[in-house]
């Protein structure tokens, strides 16, 4: 924890607009990426410079807007199932003047692939939605990546419960087991290289072999 606190103390302060988004997310109990996690994702974006990004799990648009901040030349397609969060995301996208760069789609990501595919192919797939469906999202959307495309999956350590769920509630333990199964499937996949980085809530980085 001391190490994490130290690293967090080194992070640059987000803009006032993003700080307000973070406060709103906390007040409304909307899960957004942890500070170290979003900082890591933004650095990946700066290095990779993906021009076309697909995000599964918009929430209120926080991570999409931070990815755009990291590489303003990118275009982002983002999918959100929850109607109220989708509407919040549209509000923030418009507030940031990013409506020409971020295309938000409302619907279940497992049902709107035909709509999403029209925006592809994608250089980066970012998965941050229903934890029990990560493998389904991967199967459905990985084929929409460019040859050098990268996949980033968030929350793959899930509050530490993936490594040890002995103190987790039954619901949390169930989610942790599903993520553990996904992680094991992912790192053993014959067509991809995957590294799991213990930053934020755990981030998996996957590239085609």
| Sequence ranges of the binding site | 33, 63, 80, 108-109, 128, 154-155
Could you tell me which residues are annotated as the binding site for S-adenosyl-L-methionine? 33, 63, 80, 108-109, 128
78 backbone dihedrals φ, ψ, rounded to 5° = -135, 140
Could you tell me which residues are annotated as the binding site for Mg(2+)? 128, 154-155
- List, in order, residues 6 or more apart from 80 with CB less than 8 Å away: 57, 58, 59, 86, 89, 104, 105, 106
- How many Cα atoms are found within 13 Å in the side-chain-facing hemisphere of 135? 14
Q: How far apart are CA 119 and CA 154, in angstroms?
A: 22
Selection from 71, 31, 37, 38 nearest residue 53 by Cα: 71
């Amino acid at each position: 924890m001391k190490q994490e606190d130290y690293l967090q103390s080194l992070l640059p302060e987000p803009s006032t607009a993003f700080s307000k988004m973070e406060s709103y997310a906390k007040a409304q109990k909307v899960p957004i990426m942890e500070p170290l996690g979003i900082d890591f994702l933004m650095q990946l974006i700066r290095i990779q410079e993906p021009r076309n990004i697909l995000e599964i799990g918009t929430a209120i648009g926080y991570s999409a807007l931070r990815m755009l901040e990291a590489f303003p030349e990118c275009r982002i397609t983002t999918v959100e199932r929850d109607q109220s969060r989708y509407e919040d995301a549209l509000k923030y996208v418009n507030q940031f003047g990013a409506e020409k760069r971020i295309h938000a789609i409302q619907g279940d990501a497992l049902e709107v692939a035909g709509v999403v595919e029209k925006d592809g192919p994608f250089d980066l797939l970012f998965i941050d939605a229903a934890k029990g469906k990560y493998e389904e999202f991967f199967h459905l959307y990985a084929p929409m990546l460019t040859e050098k495309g990268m996949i980033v999956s968030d929350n793959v350590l899930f509050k530490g419960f993936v490594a040890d769920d002995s103190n987790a509630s039954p619901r949390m333990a169930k989610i942790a087991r599903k993520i553990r199964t996904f992680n094991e499937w992912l790192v053993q996949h014959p067509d991809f290289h995957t590294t799991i980085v213990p930053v934020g809530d755990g981030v998996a980085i996957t590239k085609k072999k």
